[in-house]
Structure 1
Amino acid sequence: MYENLVVSADWLADHLDDVRVVDVRDAWEFDGIGHVPGAVSIPFDSFRSDVGDEGMLPGTAVWTDLMNEAGIDEDDTIVAYDDTHGVFAARFLVTAELYGHRDLHLLNGDFSAWSREHEVEREAREFPESEYAVRDPEHSPLVGYEYVLDAVDRVADADAAGDGAGDDVVIVDTREPEEYAESHVPGAVQLDWLELVDDDSRGLKPRAELESILADRGITPDKEVVLYCNTARRISHTYVVLRQLGYEHVAFYEGSLTEWQERGGPVEREA
């Protein structure tokens, strides 16, 4: 998944005949505003689990049905996009990775990056139904409550040592500063996922700037990075960015703060 993970609109234009493009915007946007030629519509709400379990995986049966209806095979090259800086498309890609899909890419700069320079299509194309086979992922970044609880202890031990000893893990809260101040996992550093996005292009900031922002928070490639938000949407984007930058040890706490608080996990607050 990680080679050339984030691709430009020009790259997509050059490879359009060789990839399957997935549009995760609402269906009315796909039809009314237009879409990348040859794209299939798989709206964000269709690959999330039911109410009461927001943000979690949809289940093998649901995922298989979605892929079959879209005519996507498990070995297809997929490029996903949305109109929200890539955060919803990133969640699609992480979901696909967890169901064993391996050739995955995010369109940098979302749909606007395409529509500014390339033609759009308004009629949906028909693709023959596929027989998608879910596989075990080559690597699963998913971690659970107990894993994060242990990471909290590791951060606390490193802080108590005072000399950086054992400081090999960083917990990252990808929500807005106000949310972080209200309640966060103890020892977590705050990094709003939008800090990694360029306002003008709607895509990622230049690599050097990304690395500087991350280093300022102590989020460096030599550490294990444990990501959380509220319902696993925002961490999906940060996860994709970190993997694009070559971070190898990235943990994805899908339950995030929703599960953490439901299970009585400790929290910190800021005045």
Structure 2
Amino acid sequence: MQTPFVTTDWLSAHLEDDNLVIVDASWHMPNLARDPRTEFREGHIPGAVFFDIDAISDTSTDLPHMLPTPEAFAQAVGALGISETSQILIYDETGLFSAPRAWWTFKIFGAQNVAMLEGGGPKWRSEQRPTQTGDQSPEPTIFTPSFTPEAVVDFDTVLARLTDKKAQILDARPAPRFNAEVPEPRAGLRSGHMPGAINVPVGTLSEAGQLRSETELKALFAERGIDLNRPIITTCGSGITAAVLSLALQRAGAKSVAIYDGSWTEWGGRPDAPIEP
């Protein structure tokens, strides 16, 4: 699985592979009132384990689902029966929403063979493929992490890049939020965007839960004046859809992409962060 995606046909043919670990990484916006773990128990792809994006995170901060330490990540996914050499296949129940965040997280911590299910749970279900209920009890294993620090940036780095222009800042939030036309879904955050940021709404990157083609994505980025040969930092509301944007940039051939993990939850909550309407 050296491609970011595999098809439902591929998964159907490989469901029983010994080294394959299927991972449900579903996560939903708080305002949707959906509980992904409950939904997992009610039905998931056979053999899948549930990856809790909120729980497998840095618990020392109030910011949501920030990257954990390599050691904490290794302990959590080892308990799910996942090693760095496992064949890891990630999906979510939206189609293409939170799975890229988990995909990026596994890769940043050294997983050697990780992909996503094209179309996710909705496509699998639409094809009347099998599901199972309840929790899984995987056999724990050892995940040996190797961290890639350049793939993630913090507040101070983004602030510096806004000044020195050494990287382009791309924001995956919907245009009404980027343009301060609607309030943020999280209480207490200011509205608007970082000065000089470019809006690339996550909804423009996929169709029916599947990422657009390389040609389509290249055209989309070109229309917005984005130089794929220059460094790029992606951001969003809380670091989830920034990973979808990073994935799309990778497909389009971007040379250097990092995610601002704190994203707007941190930026919009800090009085010292510069904001444009």
**Which amino acid is 2:115 matched to?**
H
Determine the C-alpha separation between the residues in 1 that align with 2:7 and 2:124. 9
The aligned counterpart of 1:97 is: 107
Determine the C-alpha separation between the residues in 1 that align with 2:227 and 2:9. 30
The aligned counterpart of 2:54 is: 45
* Cα contact 1:91–1:236 (8 A) shared by 2: yes
Give per-residue Cα distances to partners, 1:12-37, cap 9 Å, x unaligned: 223331421101232221221x2222
Local SS of the residue matching 1:46:
coil
Match among 216, 219, 226 for residue 209 of structure 1: 216
- Aligned length, in residue pairs: 252
Match among 176, 179, 183 for residue 178 of structure 1: 176
TM-superposed CA distance for 1:146, in Å, is 3.0
Determine the C-alpha separation between the residues in 1 that align with 2:51 and 2:70. 16
The aligned counterpart of 1:119 is: 130
Gapped runs of 5+ residues in structure 2? 27-35, 181-191
Alignment pair present for 1:234 and 2:244: no
The aligned counterpart of 1:131 is: 142
CA change 1:136–1:43 in 2 (3 A) is: closer
CA change 1:125–1:63 in 2 (3 A) is: same
Alignment pair present for 1:10 and 2:9: yes
CA change 1:60–1:170 in 2 (3 A) is: closer
Alignment pair present for 1:110 and 2:120: yes
* Cα contact 1:22–1:80 (8 A) shared by 2: yes
* Cα contact 1:6–1:244 (8 A) shared by 2: no
Local SS of the residue matching 1:212:
helix
Gapped runs of 5+ residues in structure 1? 156-167
So what's the TM-score if we normalise by structure 2? 0.82
Q: CA RMSD in A?
A: 2.3
Alignment pair present for 1:188 and 2:189: no
Give per-residue Cα distances to partners, 1:152-180, cap 9 Å, x unaligned: 2244xxxxxxxxxxxx7421111011111
The structure richer in helix per residue is: 1
TM-superposed CA distance for 1:195, in Å, is 0.9
Local SS of the residue matching 1:131:
coil
Q: Percent identity?
A: 27
* Cα contact 2:193–2:275 (8 A) shared by 1: yes
